Structure 1
Amino acid sequence: MSAPDVTVPGAWAGGPVTDRATCVLEGNAGPMTLDGTNTWVLSAPGSGEAVVVDPGEDDPAHRAGITAVLAGRRVALVVGTHRHRDHVGGLDAFLAQHPAPVARTAGEHRVAGLGLRVLATPGHTSDSLCVLLDSGELLTGDTLLGRGSTVIATGNQQGVEQGGDLGDYLRSLELLLSLEADVVLPGHGPPLPDPRAALSRQREHRLARLEQVRCAVAAGHRDVEDVVTAVHGDVEGTVRWAAAQSVRAQLDYLAQQP
């Protein structure tokens, strides 16, 4: 693959990153989506086919942007990295325009001139997937973000069990650390040019936060909201909701330890 173009330290606007991967950035920026959802269009140079990872929300303007980047190439495979609406809410509408098989489980594919390994990486949600190209690009969905830390999504949201689990998440990070990858292409935020360093930082952050939660419990905090305040301070709104999700996952993890 070509050298990744990850030189912009500030706002992320999408665009080509390697000679096989281009990001179409959805206009849904926010506290949980960072700069917006990254839809990745993957194709070997000269191929008349492409793979689309995370077609995003049900947004006609975003679908038009993906179609423009496809530039006439046929969609040979779609991968949804997990069930959340900002990644696959527009999947059916996208398939209506670009009919293609959808990879929903782990497996290997040879398509659009690419070798792809779809990997089961539960933790953020129970159905989270990552994709490794044989050219070195590692697409991580929400398992590893371009900045910040991943929420471990627990409980029931909009009638769907999320299945987030800290133990699963730590094991998924170990799996990704075992891979030979050259650049991380995340589901939100900019690419990361040193996968091992980025994954190691996330693992160490998780373990450090787990220790903070352990200390909060030892100090007498038991309720999720009390632990959130003890560990994260007086955060509010969406940030507090996200912190509570991960704290609940950490408390569940600690309860399972001998």
Structure 2
Amino acid sequence: MADDHLRRALADDGVDLVLADNPSPMTLEGTNSYILRSRDGASALLLDPGPMLVEHRDALVRTVGSAELTAIVLTHRHGDHSGLLETAGQWAPGVPVHAVDPTFASGATPLVDGERIAFGTHDADVLTIVTTPGHTDDSVSAVHGSRLFAGDTVLGRGTTMVSFPDGSLGDYLDSLERLTALEAAGAVTTIAPAHGEQREDVRDLLAHYLSHRRERISQVQDVLASGRTTAEEVADVVYADVPDSVKPAALQIVRSQLAYIESLEG
């Protein structure tokens, strides 16, 4: 994922990618931390510090280099994105942390939709927040130029999970529709996810995400109609082919699907 071609493409836009060494079925090659540099190179913004790994922390510090780190932005609370914040006072003292969840926000008010975070003096040195709840209730994406940093809302390959109970399938579908509208308006032409490779087929990717979710909902409804009612029973049918390593995540997704279907019927 983090090959030389991608790194060069990001660097051309003043963005550095630092890949954490935390590969897994859920994180793919690992968590992508992004460092956005100001036009004059004097300052920078860090998007998603990543997991609590000393080697990753050191790589971030080296990559920021002599630039002044002016802001840290967290796409959501999960530990593979937020872990390093526990020691931020040591490697980024006094740097404000921007997050929806006030537990993680520090030196800044909790993030809100449309918030613009400046990290330099040029008009282009701005990251604009797009709230995209669903994966978790505190999930955000962010736009810089025409690139969408999607956190875990959209991955470089495969599909993401909707956490339960701190995520919502209804919110997630709404977030995908919102991102689709941004692409249709020409505001987003590439997606840089927190896991996996950058994607330029934004329209097709979002359409796939939406159709996949709707197909799964239909499958769950069919299973419920057959008399199976528990999340475990539904998961055994709808996600029968998933590896054992991701079955706990599949069970969370089914619980979110059941909650969504119940909300439709209520």
TM-score where L is the length of structure 2: 0.85
**2:135 corresponds to:** 124
Aligned to 1:5: none
What amino acid sits opposite 2:118 in the alignment? R
Aligned partner of 2:153 among 140, 143, 152: 143
Once residues 177 and 242 of structure 2 are traced to their aligned partners in structure 1, the CA distance between those partners, rounded to angstroms, is 30
Matched, 1:115 2:126: yes
For 2:36 and 2:80, locate their aligned partners in 1 and report how far apart those are by CA, in whole Å.
Answer: 19
8 Å CA contact retained: 1:23, 1:40: yes
TM-superposed deviation, 1:234: 5.1
Displacement, 1:12? 4.0
Map Cα deviations across residues 58-94 of structure 1 (whole Å, 9 max, x no partner). Answer: 1111011112221211111110100000000111323
- Does 2:64 match 1:70? yes
Q: Where does residue 223 of structure 2 map in the other structure?
A: 216
2:35 is matched with 41
| 1: CA distance, partners of 2:2 / 2:210 | 24
| Separation of aligned partners in 1, 2:230 and 2:28 | 29
Contact 2:129 2:140 in 1 (8 A): yes
* 1:85 corresponding residue in structure 2: 79
Say which of 234, 246, 254 aligns to 1:239. Answer: 246
1:180-208 deviations in Å (ceiling 9; x for gaps):
11210101010111222211211111111
Say if 2:19 and 2:32, in contact at 8 Å, map to a contact too: yes
Question: Aligned ranges for residues 134-213 of structure 1 at < 5 Å?
Answer: 135-155=145-165, 163-179=166-182, 180-213=187-220
The residue that corresponds to 2:106 in the other structure is none
Deviation at 1:96, TM superposition (A): 2.3
Contact kept? 1:16, 1:23, Cα under 8 Å: no
Deviations 1:131-165 (A, max 9, x none): 111x111001101111111111103xxxxxxx110
Select 1:252's aligned residue among 234, 252, 259: 259
Q: Tell me, yes or no, if the aligned pair for 2:72 and 2:96 is still in contact at 8 Å.
A: yes
How much does 1:236 deviate?
A: 4.7
Alpha-carbon distance in 2 for matches of 1:145, 1:218: 32
Q: Are the equivalent residues in 2 in contact too, given 1:63–1:94 (CA < 8 A)?
A: no
Question: Which structure features the higher share of strand residues?
Answer: 1
Distance 1:165 1:96 in 2: 35
Please tell me the root mean square deviation across aligned C-alpha atoms, in Å: 1.6
Which structure: greater helix fraction?
2
**Letter aligned with residue 166 of structure 1:** L
Identity %: 35
In 2, Cα distance between equivalents of 1:211 and 1:34:
27
Alpha-carbon contact 1:20-1:45 (below 8 Å) kept: yes
Could you state the TM-score of these two structures normalised by the residue count of structure 1? 0.88
Does the CA contact (< 8 Å) of 2:132 and 2:172 recur in 1? Answer: yes
Matching residue within 27, 30, 53 for 2:24 = 30
Report the Cα distance in structure 1 between the residues aligned to 2:243 and 2:231, rounded to whole angstroms: 14
* In 2, Cα distance between equivalents of 1:109 and 1:196: 26
Does the 8 Å contact 2:61/2:91 carry over to 1? no
Give the number of equivalent residue pairs.
Answer: 240
Whether the 8 Å contact between 1:77 and 1:101 is mirrored in structure 2 is yes
**In 1, Cα distance between equivalents of 2:203 and 2:119:** 27
Letter in 1 for 2:136: T
Segments of structure 2 that go 5 or more residues without pairing to the other structure are 100-110
Deviations 1:85-144 (A, max 9, x none): 0000111323421231111112112223412211211100010011111x1110011011
